[in-house]
């Protein structure tokens, strides 16, 4: 059975200029938009966070382009800015005027691009362990190979066809470390969606191209006038606090950083109350509550 059949869309499929965008929508109230990180999909948020917000917000969790059930954009448009433009158009199609934009990891780069390019539509930003600045070095052999044309044509199909479930589970465990993976998360999130060849290629291309985009965005952060809440753990070895969130907090004039001691790369799972608190503060500072 195909991954799409095992893990079907949980929300609406919107046609946005010829690109299908998957939007999971629950609740009523001020709009909160959730944008997931690399290799993920909206199910990362429907596992727990959506349920904590839907009693007082209209929560919209999008699949980003090329991941989950959202189609790919042309290669030149899969930058954070291009993804933000697509998701903003999808939000407009859902009747959203202003929203708190919440991004995790890579999704935070999309949220920040949204705020930079469409400030009238972004009431506030919440960055959860967000990728916001360029980093030293490269991303390692996996991304170099899978983002290349040859690797995408040869290595990616082999990984998609033969990678054991245990390897995928170890990868998830590394993302959550040092916290454990919550019971039921692996089955809920649908790892098979991530292991599709087209999804592996899309993810690798986006991640390897990210650094110059965030470098250009960082020069614009001092002009961000909207409220920004930043949540980041000290034990995040994937998107380090000192590389990304502390510089963002210094540059963006209305940014507030909350540091979570001992928390890794998944703060909205490790400390969901802190994540909800950051969203509530952002909504309040933006005048949405």
- Please give the tally of structural domains in the chain: 1
Residue closest to 70 by CA, chosen among 89, 51, 47: 89
- Asked if residue 114 is part of any domain, the answer here is yes
Q: 66, 72 in Cβ contact below 8 A?
A: yes
Q: pLDDT tens digits for the chain (289 residues)?
A: 588 889 999 999 999 999 999 999 999 999 999 999 999 999 999 999 999 999 999 999 999 999 999 999 986 668 999 999 999 999 999 999 999 999 999 999 999 999 999 988 999 999 999 999 999 877 664 555 455 564 455 544 445 554 656 667 788 999 999 999 999 999 999 988 988 888 988 998 899 899 999 999 999 999 999 999 999 999 999 999 999 999 999 999 999 999 999 999 999 999 999 999 999 999 999 999 7
Residue closest to 230 by CA, chosen among 218, 245, 219: 245
- Asked if residue 71 is part of any domain, the answer here is yes
- Asked if residue 41 is part of any domain, the answer here is yes
| Range 2-31 burial, b when 16+ CB lie within 10 A, else e | ebeeebebbbeebebeebbbbbbbbbeebb
- Asked if residue 98 is part of any domain, the answer here is yes
Domain range for 110 is 3-136+212-285
- Asked if residue 174 is part of any domain, the answer here is no
What number of other Cβ atoms are within 10 A of residue 269's Cβ?
23
Q: Helices 210-218 and 241-251 sit at what angle, rounded to 10 degrees?
A: 30
- Asked if residue 179 is part of any domain, the answer here is no
We report the CATH number of the domain holding residue 16 as 3.40.50.1820
């Amino acid at each position: 059975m195909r991954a799409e059949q095992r893990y079907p869309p949980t929300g609406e499929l919107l046609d946005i200029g010829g690109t299908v965008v998957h939007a999971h929508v629950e609740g009523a109230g001020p709009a909160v938009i959730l944008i997931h990180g690399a290799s993920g999909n909206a199910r990362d948020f429907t596992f727990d966070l959506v349920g904590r917000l839907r009693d007082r917000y209209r929560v919209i969790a999008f699949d980003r382009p090329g991941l989950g059930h959202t189609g790919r954009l042309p290669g030149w448009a899969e930058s954070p800015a291009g993804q933000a433009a697509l998701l903003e158009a999808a939000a407009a199609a859902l009747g959203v005027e202003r929203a708190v934009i919440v991004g995790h990891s890579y999704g935070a780069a999309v949220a920040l691009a949204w705020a930079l390019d469409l400030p009238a539509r972004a009431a506030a930003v919440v960055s959860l362990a967000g990728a916001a600045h360029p980093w030293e070095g490269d991303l390692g052999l996996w991304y170099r190979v899978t983002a290349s044309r040859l690797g995408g044509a040869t290595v990616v199909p082999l990984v998609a066809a033969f990678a054991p479930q245990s390897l995928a589970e170890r990868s998830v465990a590394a993302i959550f470390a040092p916290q454990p993976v919550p019971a039921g998360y692996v089955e809920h999130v649908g790892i098979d969606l991530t292991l599709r060849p087209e999804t592996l290629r899309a993810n690798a291309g986006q991640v390897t191209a990210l650094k110059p985009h965030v470098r250009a965005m960082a020069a614009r952060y001092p002009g961000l006038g909207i409220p920004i809440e930043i949540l980041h753990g000290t034990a995040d070895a994937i998107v380090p606090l000192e590389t990304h969130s502390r510089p963002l907090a210094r540059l963006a004039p209305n940014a507030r950083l909350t540091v979570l001691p001992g928390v890794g790369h998944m703060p909205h799972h490790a400390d969901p109350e802190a994540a909800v608190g950051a969203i509530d503060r952002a909504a309040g500072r933006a005048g949405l509550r």
